[in-house]
Copies of this chain bind each other. A is one copy, B any other.
Amino acid sequence: MKFAATAVAAAIMLAAPLSVWEAMAQDPALDEDTIEQAERLMDAGLDSTIGYEIVESLTTEIGARLAGSEAEARARDWAVAKMTALGLANVRIEPFDVPYWERGIEEAAIVSPYPQTLELTALGGSVATPVEGVTGEIVRFETLADLQDAPMTGFEGKIVFVDEYMTRTQDGSGYGVAVAKRSGAAVEAGKRGAVAALIRSVGTDSHRFPHTGQMRYGDVDRKVPIAALSAPDADQLQRALTRGEPVTVRVRLDTVSPGTRPSGNVIGEIPGRTDEIVVIGGHLDSWDLGTGAVDDGAGIGITMGAAKIILESGLTPERTIRIVAFGAEEIGLYGGIYYAEKYAADLDKHIVGAESDFGAGQIYQFQTRFGETKLDRAKEFQRVLAPLGIGPGNNEATGGPDMIGLRGAGVPVVTLKQNGWDYFDLHHTHDDTLDKIDPDNIAQNVAAYAGFVWMAANMDGDFRDPVTLPVTGEASQ
């Protein structure tokens, strides 16, 4: 039925390249029943505590769950049990291996002229220092670009410190710029003969929490250890340096990389009537410091919670609604990439995908990556979601980190954009704990996902452009 409608549209398009755009725009995706059902699900989501309960369960019963760790394995068992208890079908673990890395003792101190400890944490993937640590004079750069522009000599035996700040924004747009230093600082420091690299944490808080996160050396010849200072410690080092005397710091990082370990995705479904799939999820792994509440217990709670709201309604969707708890996101999007590989042959049946991985703040925007001929469908969906306070967004959604494979393969994605004003206060720190989640906000997220996924699973047609697009240049002639 749905394919038939698409075929008609494609036929119209081939016959009349100009008018097809209008014709498709006037072809509504949602019928009244679907809209009414979505509205009822949204109401039920707002009234439900299920999203919060799921995050509470995960963060309390498992806590931190580093990719590849025994805790992540327990989290997979937890997810199987939880999905089963919620009533999802076809619950399964889809295993894969990941490179394992673990932090050990980490210590730092200003040795002179103002002896005192500093609080830092190794970045994921960092090599270790010798057990006695490395000691060197600090050379500070305001930005990664300044380090990249620095001469290639004169840094032997020194510790490079990239003191770049991150901008606080609602949409997380400050992250991309700030995160570049996470890999770049060690790479550039290593090339220049430095013994280690330090960065100001990629974060927006002013608490004594260093922010970890994955770094990558690429194909450098010389790998030097790298760690992030908490913002107050970066301030402290900056102040020490402005006093004019050389500042010497000792850093010890006992990281280990003992080879590969098992990880995996956990999948559960609400089976539909067709073989088409709507996929939503969050990632199950977290960094090792906090309990992974906002990153990304929230995404797990929101998407499993949305599924539960639908299951409780007794409705059966046209398409299968698939919930994925992705493994090993933090260390390199392993779960998302694996998923796209495993289901490569089925990706044309994936109508749309969305991962919730930006905390538990209120959703304020419906962002899409749809075919250009289907942008009116974004408006249709947004109008239904609007009572939740969700406005229209652009068509540049990423769909979330673990949608990388699907997005790359052309599967339409959606980002239900959350208010991330405070997200990078907590992100990748010890302080990412359950108390930071507002139950009302997470209920709004559950409502939005329940409404969105229900509409996507039951709409007519899809979000893709027809296989052969009209050529705009020709059409306008």
- Interface pair A60/B430, CB less than 8 Å apart: no
Instruction: Specify which of B62, B63, B116, B206 is in contact with A435 (CB 8 Å cutoff).
Output: B206
Q: A116-B63, A240-B60 are in contact. Are A235 and B435 (CB under 8 A)?
A: yes
Instruction: Specify which of B71, B117, B239 is in contact with A60 (CB 8 Å cutoff).
Output: B239
Instruction: Specify which of B117, B206, B291 is in contact with A116 (CB 8 Å cutoff).
Output: B291
Q: A56-B239, A291-B236 are in contact. Are A62 and B116 (CB under 8 A)?
A: yes
For the complex with contacts A63-B236, A71-B115, 18 further pairs of A-B residues with Cβ separation under 8 Å are A60-B239, A60-B240, A60-B243, A61-B114, A61-B240, A62-B114, A62-B116, A63-B115, A64-B117, A206-B435, A206-B436, A207-B207, A208-B290, A208-B430, A231-B435, A232-B431, A232-B433, A236-B433
Closest to A61 in B: B114
Q: For the complex, is A197 an interface residue (Cβ under 8 Å from B)? A: no
Closest to A236 in B: B60
Q: For the complex, is A270 an interface residue (Cβ under 8 Å from B)? A: no
Q: Which 10 A-B pairs have the closest CB atoms?
A: A63-B116, A232-B433, A208-B430, A60-B239, A208-B431, A206-B435, A61-B114, A232-B435, A207-B431, A235-B435
- Interchain nearest-CB distance for A282 vs B (Å): 20
Cα–Cα, bound, A61→B113 (Å): 8
Closest to A60 in B: B239
Which residues of B are found within 8 Å of A60, using beta-carbon distances?
A: 114, 236, 239-240, 243
Could you give, for residues 57-84 of chain A, a 1 whenever the CB lies within 8 Å of some chain B CB and a 0 otherwise?
Answer: 0011111100000010000000000000
Q: For the complex, is A215 an interface residue (Cβ under 8 Å from B)? A: no
Q: For the complex, is A422 an interface residue (Cβ under 8 Å from B)? A: no
Closest to A74 in B: B115
Could you give, for residues 283-321 of chain A, a 1 whenever the CB lies within 8 Å of some chain B CB and a 0 otherwise?
Answer: 000000011000000000000000000000000000000
Cα–Cα, bound, A469→B71 (Å): 72
Q: For the complex, is A434 an interface residue (Cβ under 8 Å from B)? A: yes
Which residues of B are found within 8 Å of A429, using beta-carbon distances?
A: 208
Closest to A425 in B: B207
Q: For the complex, is A209 an interface residue (Cβ under 8 Å from B)? A: yes
Q: For the complex, is A171 an interface residue (Cβ under 8 Å from B)? A: no
Q: For the complex, is A102 an interface residue (Cβ under 8 Å from B)? A: no
How many residues of chain A have a CB within 8 Å of chain B? Answer: 34
Cα–Cα, bound, A231→B290 (Å): 13
A-B contact pairs, 22 of them (CB 8 A): A56-B239, A60-B114, A60-B236, A60-B239, A61-B114, A61-B243, A62-B114, A64-B116, A64-B117, A71-B115, A71-B116, A116-B291, A119-B430, A206-B435, A207-B207, A208-B433, A232-B431, A232-B434, A235-B433, A236-B291, A236-B433, A236-B434
Cα–Cα, bound, A430→B61 (Å): 27
Closest to A238 in B: B60
- Interchain nearest-CB distance for A275 vs B (Å): 39
Cα–Cα, bound, A232→B208 (Å): 15
Cα–Cα, bound, A209→B64 (Å): 17
Which residues of B are found within 8 Å of A232, using beta-carbon distances?
A: 291, 431, 433-435
Could you give, for residues 22-64 of chain A, a 1 whenever the CB lies within 8 Å of some chain B CB and a 0 otherwise?
Answer: 0000000000000000000000000000000000100111111
Highest count of chain B CB atoms <10 Å: which of A115, A207, A430: A207
- Interchain nearest-CB distance for A145 vs B (Å): 25
Cα–Cα, bound, A441→B171 (Å): 32
Cα–Cα, bound, A115→B75 (Å): 12
Which residues of B are found within 8 Å of A56, using beta-carbon distances?
A: 239
Cα–Cα, bound, A209→B431 (Å): 9
- Interchain nearest-CB distance for A57 vs B (Å): 9
Which residues of B are found within 8 Å of A291, using beta-carbon distances?
A: 116, 232, 236
Closest to A119 in B: B430
Closest to A237 in B: B60
Closest to A235 in B: B435
- Interchain nearest-CB distance for A335 vs B (Å): 22
Highest count of chain B CB atoms <10 Å: which of A56, A64, A115: A115
Could you give, for residues 110-141 of chain A, a 1 whenever the CB lies within 8 Å of some chain B CB and a 0 otherwise?
Answer: 10001111010000000000000000000000
Cα–Cα, bound, A382→B68 (Å): 64
Which residues of B are found within 8 Å of A430, using beta-carbon distances?
A: 119, 208
